[in-house]
Structure 1
Amino acid sequence: MFFITLYSQLSFLFIIILVIVILLIIYENLNIRKSKTSDNGLLEPPMPFKIPLIGHLHLLGGYDVPYKAFSELGKKYGNIIKLQLGNVKCVVINDQKNIREALITKGHHFDSRPSFERYARLFSGNKQNSLAFCDWSDVQKTRREMLIMYTFPRAATNKFHNLETIIQNNVQSMVSKICENNVVGIKPMIIQHCGNIFTTHFCSRQFQNTDKEFVDMVNNFDEIFYEVNQGYAADFLPFLMPLHKRNLKRMANMTANIKKFVLERIIGDRFENFDAADEPSDYVESLIQHVKKVKSFDWEMALFALEDIIGGHSAVANFLVKLFAFLLKEPTVQQRIQNEIDNAVGIEGRAIGISDRNKLPYTEATIFEAIRLIASPIVPRVSNQDSSIDGYKIEQDTLIFLNNYDLSMSEKLWDEPKKFLPERFLKNGSLVKPDHFLPFGGGKRSCMGYKMVQLISFGVLSGLLQHYTIEPFETKEYKIPIGSLALPRDPLQIKFTKRAVSL
């Protein structure tokens, strides 16, 4: 009898709690669209109903790309939406006008980065050691300025010519490998040669693709690149971080091995032997010179900057793998690129190079179209002060999600956005870049390596298609992950068929 009574009481209590929760949900949803005015006259962004502890994390479930959830929320609540993800206050910004306001007009209000423990551990517990994940500072401004001549080499300069030669040499190496076996595991080949392009360009160090330490280095970078591009609930619910203990230890071992490679195989005795009065010959010597001349810029910070920029090859390599995966389904696109190449190099059949870019607008448009379809997110910002977007209040220390997925896949902005159509970036035979195409962000925190992505991708794509046509090795469908540049260690194999034209 006692247990029956207790059960009845608990059931009644549960019903009361359930009714209260339902009433709260109804109340929240009735008021969800009502914009409240803050003390300074700005509107408070609308906010969906949140659940205790997790906030709005449940709204991101069920989507292969989390940013799709932001697009759906935008349809219901508007272009500025306030969210609580775990213990992190966030705002989602949709629409080209609002994103440009956050990136450019008020970019100085939103130039900090999230403080995720997972990222900090990759940089000795200090996110300020990172080029991409640090807050804005005078040190970051200096680091960007030092990189400009290497990441944005101007046409007709020695830096540009040297980069072109480096890319052509690596393309020739890939062509030789393909000649030995026309079916190739595309990702290992691409990441190793992109790694060599970066180490040669930035560090004046070239490695054999049979060098185990070098191969381990690029594989470690690739694993880390994949890791930082994954979203985990633990980033917003720190009490879950112990669940990632084993993975964090694995990442720590990888970063330690990368640092060892950089110190032993790239730096060597260069720090001791370089005279700060001399003109630097590469980025390594630029860093050494700066450390020796500017005391506020220490050697550990310089090493992190070097590792970070070398690691940029992973982004380029993963993008190229996805680009080739797109082209497996697009024989007509391949043919148009090859026609452009043939017209550019003439009857002598010389090697195509990045100096030919202005002659191959369709090839460049193909690269843009792949970037658009991948819809990789803009790195989130954090507001460094109270501010506003489109008249809505943004509190200091709010994490800002800029919905690049919506810009890339919106049916309002693009005709048939799910189709691979490079010609959407052409007008009267010339390359055009619409204002709503913002894959690399904008303003002072725009991607530092986007020109390297374009140059290397152009050189590798045109260089390989000059010699080969590609097709799937197997008939099974290959699904190209979108919403992130990063790829797992993928078994994608590509069949390269020698072109009938003799080059």
Structure 2
Amino acid sequence: MLPIIVPSILTFPLAVLLVALALTCYVIHLQNKRKSKEEIYEDGLRTAPAPMRVPVLGHLHLLGGYEVPYQAFSYLGKKYGSVVNLQLGNVKCVVVNGQKNIREALVTKGHHFDARPNFRRYQELFSGNKENSLAFCDWSDMQKTRRDMLKVHTFPRAFTSNFSSLKGLISAGTRSIMSEIQPCETTDLKPLILKTCANVFLNHFCSRNFPMEDEMFTEMVENFDEIFYEVNQGYAADFLPFLLPLHRKNLERMSGLTHRIRRFIEEEVIGGRFEDFDVEGEPDDYVESLIKHVKSGESPQLPWETALFALEDIIGGHSAVGNFLVKLFAFLANEPEVQRRIQKEIDEVVGDREVTIADRSSLPYTEATIFEAIRLIASPIVPRVANQKSSIDGYRIEKNTVLFLNNYDLSMSEKLWDRPTEFLPERFVHSGRLVKPDHFLPFGGGRRGCMGYKIVQLVSFGILGGFLQNYTVLPVNGDPYKVPIGSLALAKDTFKFKFVRR
């Protein structure tokens, strides 16, 4: 009888455990079902509805089966309403849908939601402290100071020396890319675009330029691109930290890339400028603005290491611009009529003169093409975190709740856009002028809005205009390209193109 009795004794605790787990899941199911149907009032604020969740995962399972998670957020918004509570692993979250509600979070109550998620992966990417990052830090006096120092460079005013210098850099960079192209041959555009954008950024912010064939410069560009791809990936480990060991090897590799970037910045970009800069003098570029603030001991104090992270962040912005431009060209390779309309506009307005960023206001359709690509990519707004108890649309938001602002729905809603899945730049042009609808919020808003969006627009316009003035873009083998959405990042081996001289 022993072989029979022993298994019975061993399986009894397991059976009890399974029954207990089933009862727990049933109770959770009843609680979630009740909460999803009821509005619980407290202090005049409602509790946002929530779908049924499961143990450990919470609502993470609801994000599967979609091209990007924000499509799931749109579905949940239609089912449960404009504000939806989600428990993603161990992280309490809220999805905010709708233009009015997103503007409330970004602008009206932006000071309530100016912190960033505290994902351990982000901590590790920035030497153990996400506050080193411009994009992923919480709001602080130091962050305000870093933004203020950047404004003169990231938002150059027309007719200023900064604007004129940037105009020349972008035009020279565009000519440099085109000189590398063999007409009608397959072109791997991404490395050329990335290195050109990197030199534009290094020139503009640091007064430094590197030959395209420079090995250390090339390595820096590739390292930045790998890190940009990494930070744009979503991992379950962000919400289930016990999974982080599975990513340890990759995180160590990313750490190695950041150290190599730091070495390049210190040796090749900064050099002896920190020691040589006269704190009584006026800064000539962003590097010297940072050095002046650090050496003068101005308040709030900015440690030199933190200043270097700020510099690396803004230089790394070239990866966002470069990846976006490759996606833009992929869209255009599928849209010969859009290319013809851009070329016609350039021919009529600019003629044989070289297109520059000073022509933006005169070329609304060309500029609208950039907007349309940004809209279709639907890159998400960086999540916010509530720094205090607040509300959105009358729904209670608890302190430390992560807010996902559903920009995908704003960009792809059939209620807001006519034929939203089609590439139609003319939707942004009315009476010969570029018009940006209020519901078009690709760069966020408020004091945590993207600091580099104007640079994205200027560099993209200059390179797009210069290329289409001289070339028509074709897909290799004539196959249409499917452009990934939900992120600007592209894998290293991506779209190739053919350029036919006009």
Shorter-chain TM range is over 0.9
State the superposition RMSD in angstroms.
1.7
Q: Distance in 2 between matches of 1:239 and 1:107?
A: 32
Q: Give the counterpart of 1:337 among 332, 342, 361.
A: 342
In structure 2, the partner of 1:409 is: 412
Superposed CA offset, 1:4-23 (max 9, x none)? 86699677985685466346
In structure 2, the partner of 1:311 is: 316
Q: Distance in 2 between matches of 1:401 and 1:26?
A: 26
Superposed CA offset, 1:195-225 (max 9, x none)? 1110011111111110010011011000000
Superposed CA offset, 1:90-144 (max 9, x none)? 1110000000000000000000011111111122111111111111011111110
1:264 equivalent to 2:267? Answer yes
Q: Give the counterpart of 2:455 among 449, 452, 455.
A: 452
In structure 1, the partner of 2:331 is: 326
In structure 2, the partner of 1:102 is: 105
Structure 2 letter corresponding to 1:32 = S
Q: Distance in 2 between matches of 1:495 and 1:191?
A: 18
Alignment of 1:315-464 (within 5 A): 315-346=320-351, 349-464=352-467
Aligned residues: 496
Specify the SS of the correspondent of 2:93. strand
Superposed CA offset, 1:392-420 (max 9, x none)? 00011111100000100011110110000
Query: Deviation at 1:86?
Result: 1.1
Superposed CA offset, 1:148-173 (max 9, x none)? 11000000000001000000001111
In structure 1, the partner of 2:231 is: 228
Structure 2 letter corresponding to 1:339 = K
Q: Distance in 2 between matches of 1:209 and 1:342?
A: 31
Q: Using a 3 Å threshold, how does the CA distance of structure 1 residues 21 and 193 change in structure 2: closer, same or farther?
A: same
Alignment of 1:168-317 (within 5 A): 168-179=171-182, 182-294=185-297, 296-317=301-322
Specify the SS of the correspondent of 1:89. strand
Query: Deviation at 1:279?
Result: 1.6
1:124 equivalent to 2:127? Answer yes
Specify the SS of the correspondent of 1:352. coil
Question: Unaligned stretches of 5+ in structure 1?
Answer: none
Q: Distance in 2 between matches of 1:87 and 1:115?
A: 12
Q: Distance in 1 between matches of 2:9 and 2:325?
A: 65
Q: Distance in 1 between matches of 2:429 and 2:467?
A: 23
Q: Distance in 2 between matches of 1:210 and 1:304?
A: 26
Specify the SS of the correspondent of 1:364. helix
Question: Unaligned stretches of 5+ in structure 2?
Answer: none
Query: Deviation at 1:294?
Result: 2.4
Q: Distance in 2 between matches of 1:242 and 1:227?
A: 16
Superposed CA offset, 1:443-476 (max 9, x none)? 0010000000000000000011111001011233
Q: Distance in 2 between matches of 1:4 and 1:127?
A: 52
Structure 1 letter corresponding to 2:343 = Q
Q: Normalising to structure 1: TM-score of the pair?
A: 0.95
Tell whether the 8 Å contact from 2:25 to 2:55 is kept in structure 1 after alignment. Answer: no
In structure 2, the partner of 1:140 is: 143
Superposed CA offset, 1:352-408 (max 9, x none)? 100000110000100000000000000000000000011100011111100000100
Q: Distance in 2 between matches of 1:430 and 1:395?
A: 43
Superposed CA offset, 1:33-71 (max 9, x none)? 211112x22101111111111211111111110011111
Q: Distance in 1 between matches of 2:405 and 2:393?
A: 14
Tell whether the 8 Å contact from 2:184 to 2:498 is kept in structure 1 after alignment. Answer: no
Q: Normalising to structure 2: TM-score of the pair?
A: 0.95
In structure 2, the partner of 1:33 is: 37
Query: Deviation at 1:3?
Result: 6.9
Q: Distance in 1 between matches of 2:94 and 2:16?
A: 39
Structure 2 letter corresponding to 1:261 = F
Structure 2 letter corresponding to 1:153 = P
Alignment of 1:489-500 (within 5 A): 489-499=492-502
Tell whether the 8 Å contact from 2:334 to 2:481 is kept in structure 1 after alignment. Answer: no
Q: Using a 3 Å threshold, how does the CA distance of structure 1 residues 210 and 20 change in structure 2: closer, same or farther?
A: closer
Q: Distance in 1 between matches of 2:349 and 2:5?
A: 90
**Greater Cα offset, 177-186 or 223-232:** 177-186
Q: Distance in 1 between matches of 2:212 and 2:495?
A: 19
Specify the SS of the correspondent of 1:178. coil
Q: Distance in 1 between matches of 2:107 and 2:145?
A: 20
Q: Distance in 2 between matches of 1:427 and 1:402?
A: 28
1:159 equivalent to 2:162? Answer yes
Q: Distance in 1 between matches of 2:7 and 2:169?
A: 81
Q: Give the counterpart of 2:488 among 482, 485, 488.
A: 485
Specify the SS of the correspondent of 2:92. strand
Q: Give the counterpart of 1:64 among 67, 70, 74.
A: 67
Specify the SS of the correspondent of 1:487. coil
Superposed CA offset, 1:227-260 (max 9, x none)? 0011111111111111111001100110000001
Q: Distance in 2 between matches of 1:72 and 1:208?
A: 49
1:21 equivalent to 2:25? Answer yes
**Greater Cα offset, 21-30 or 432-441:** 21-30
1:48 equivalent to 2:51? Answer yes
Q: Distance in 1 between matches of 2:416 and 2:296?
A: 50
Specify the SS of the correspondent of 2:499. strand
Structure 2 letter corresponding to 1:320 = L
